Copies of this chain bind each other. A is one copy, B any other.
């Protein structure tokens, strides 16, 4: 009987093998058939085998996926098969399809959700099937997100243009001030290695949509090319929680950052050119050039008419201005020593941190000291993230202050006549770019302001559009950079004031590694191997470090929004360590605290988190801002320093004091505050881990981004232009000229 069973099994196995070979042949035939426009290959979750998984696993190590049974192959509508091919048959199929796709014959859609699909995509991408990862899982998006999102992979397409003008009208504009079905994520005071911020966001939406069948959208920031080619590398997430196509995400994408660079630098060029022209021309010559006779007619442009109005000159005929009015009109009288508008580049170029410009003879001795910042530090980027419409963006661009005139009055982009041109350069960048996760969840990628000198949050527009798209009961998970002291505080006090929206849940990302560091563990440095304290169980370090987690939870509670702690589990974390963190988090006031394994298991690894977030979102929400805008600037700074950072008090430098009184006089005193502080400590000193106390926060300078709409006090010196290390990331980045595959970009 035993023998018979074995024989039967063997026979059935053989039959299965032969059948699955047939299927492979059939699919390959269909793939070649010119009348068939796509082959959808569905592999059920139980189709994993070690052999397949080993063959298709992504570059980085993956654990947590175990040996499972064979699955079945189904081709879309027209081809359906219920038998189970062997692992080797699947392998053979993948090999052959990989080659076929390489030859560009047919698009292959892989329709299964979960880690296996991620693996297949990685494999097929390695094999040259670039088209695949760019293909929208239209059906899934249609049914889940309930709109026609086909072929909108790029924000530049005509279709996505509609999103701005039309999709904003999809459902009635929310009148409530809370955006209840949403979550923001915030991470704990991080180590220099990062604690997996992007992966949690992506894992969470994958869990919500692909596993719990809840509409969801992730709103991510676009990464700068500086770090991508410099030290840090890309930012598309990792493991089985990634944004695809990863190459596009980490490269130019739809050119938004390049547009910012172009607009920023046009304004910078206009400032210096104007100073030169005013210094070398008479009032009359300037007037003749600014308001020339064209085809016998002399007219003011609309931007010039607006300037006349601001100057109190209510005339429209250029011939009627008095000499005095002409002088007022043509001279901005910029004081070169007050110029705050810098040039930018999206490259880590440390040699541009301090430069002298204007040294050619043609600039007639008007040289001055200046600097380049990284493009994402431009005020225009901060505006892009905060704007709510084209009209609003144009207004903000015009209001940007570039310098003071010799009377101490602010000179704006509008005064230079460049508002319209800046808006034209930014007209496509204002549209969020739609991408997807490995499991087909939609992702808006939009804006990416510097998180120290600016607010570090993804865009208001992307949040608003995504909220409409997910509909009732859906979730928008939006990114806020750095810890609760930096990312969350700015999110609530700056971004929420602009958008009028409030999230229903704060997701706080923690790692055992970061908590151990806060508990007194040794230094963590990028590039150096981790000390054994971080790779072996050490409950005492974890327990001691949870003070930081507790403080972060308390900061969130200041705003009245429930907190869910997502513990991003690494393979070296012990069960006891994981349990300890979750226990302490809950004791510290978190609504819930759950471990997440999205990196190794995709959305499936974040299902528990998704459930906790849903539950928390149904709670009562008693949101409040931390400070009233009408308070004096100094008071607002003090409230943030004391309530959020835990400082005893603040200390202003004389420069900071005089800047504050200047901004107050200029009428900018009612703006929110955007602290420029390190993210590596709750205090201003990066080396002080845990919960520092008893410190006085020094404010060295105070600056303003009037267009973006905030005052930013500098706590210490902030580098706004990173440098290239001895061995930059670019050493490992390469392009295969035959397959067009990008290598080494993470």
Contact = CB atoms under 8 A, between A and B. Distances in A.
Interface of A: 104, 130-131, 134, 151, 154, 156-158, 161-162, 165-166, 225, 229, 247, 251-252, 254-255, 258-259, 261-262, 265-266, 268-270, 272-273, 276-277, 281, 286, 289-292, 295-296, 301-304, 343, 345-360, 362-363, 366, 369, 371, 389-391, 393-394, 417-421, 423-425, 427-428, 527, 529, 723-728, 730-735, 737-738, 740, 742-745
A391 B723 CA distance: 30
A423 B735 contact: yes
A342 to B, nearest CB: 12
Nearest to A259: B252
Contacts of A421: 229, 730, 733-734
A128 to B, nearest CB: 9
22 contacts: A154-B156, A225-B425, A252-B255, A252-B262, A262-B346, A269-B351, A301-B732, A303-B731, A343-B349, A345-B345, A350-B363, A353-B359, A353-B360, A354-B360, A360-B371, A390-B737, A420-B732, A420-B734, A423-B737, A424-B734, A424-B735, A424-B742
A363 B354 CA distance: 9
Contact of A154 (B154, B356, B363, B738): B154
Nearest to A352: B357
Contacts of A295: 529
A362 B350 CA distance: 8
Contacts of A391: 737-738
A733 B162 contact: no
Given A290-B727, A421-B730, A266 B347 contact: yes
A269 B353 CA distance: 12
Task: Say whether chain A's binding surface is mostly helix, strand, loop, or mixed.
Answer: mixed
Nearest to A294: B527
A277 B730 contact: no
A353 B346 contact: no
Given A262-B258, A269-B349, A724-B273, A130 B158 contact: yes
Contact of A351 (B272, B419, B724): B272
A734 B418 CA distance: 9
A726 B362 contact: no
Contacts of A252: 255, 258-259, 262, 425, 428
Given A154-B154, A286-B726, A349-B265, A302 B734 contact: yes
Contact of A303 (B259, B366, B734): B734
A263 B404 CA distance: 35
Contact of A724 (B229, B269, B292, B424): B269
Contacts of A343: 345, 349, 352
A353 B393 CA distance: 32
Contacts of A743: 420
Given A355-B358, A427-B740, 15 more contacts: A229-B421, A261-B261, A270-B724, A281-B726, A286-B726, A301-B732, A350-B360, A353-B359, A353-B362, A353-B363, A354-B358, A419-B734, A420-B730, A420-B734, A424-B734
A355 B353 contact: no
A351 B347 contact: no
Nearest to A132: B158
Nearest to A270: B724
10 interchain residue pairs of minimum CB distance: A420-B734, A258-B258, A421-B730, A391-B737, A289-B726, A269-B349, A353-B360, A354-B360, A390-B737, A273-B724
Nearest to A423: B735
A529 B292 CA distance: 11
A742 B427 contact: yes
Q: Which of A225, A252, A527 has the most CB of B within 10 A?
A: A252
A378 to B, nearest CB: 13
A346 B732 CA distance: 28
Nearest to A368: B351
A131 B104 contact: no
Contact of A363 (B268, B351, B725, B727): B351
Given A420-B733, A733-B421, A737-B391, A527 B427 contact: no
Contacts of A161: 130-131, 740
Contacts of A265: 345, 347, 349
Contact of A349 (B268, B296, B425, B728): B268
Contacts of A732: 301, 420
A730 B419 CA distance: 9
Contacts of A269: 347-351, 724
Nearest to A366: B351
B351 A273 contact: yes
Contacts of A735: 390, 394, 420, 423-424, 427
Contacts of A742: 424, 427
Contacts of A355: 355-359
A740 B165 contact: yes
A273 B728 CA distance: 10
A372 B356 CA distance: 12
A726 B158 contact: no
Given A417-B730, A420-B744, A424-B735, A166 B723 contact: no
Nearest to A392: B737
A366 B301 CA distance: 46
Contacts of A166: 104
A302 B391 CA distance: 50
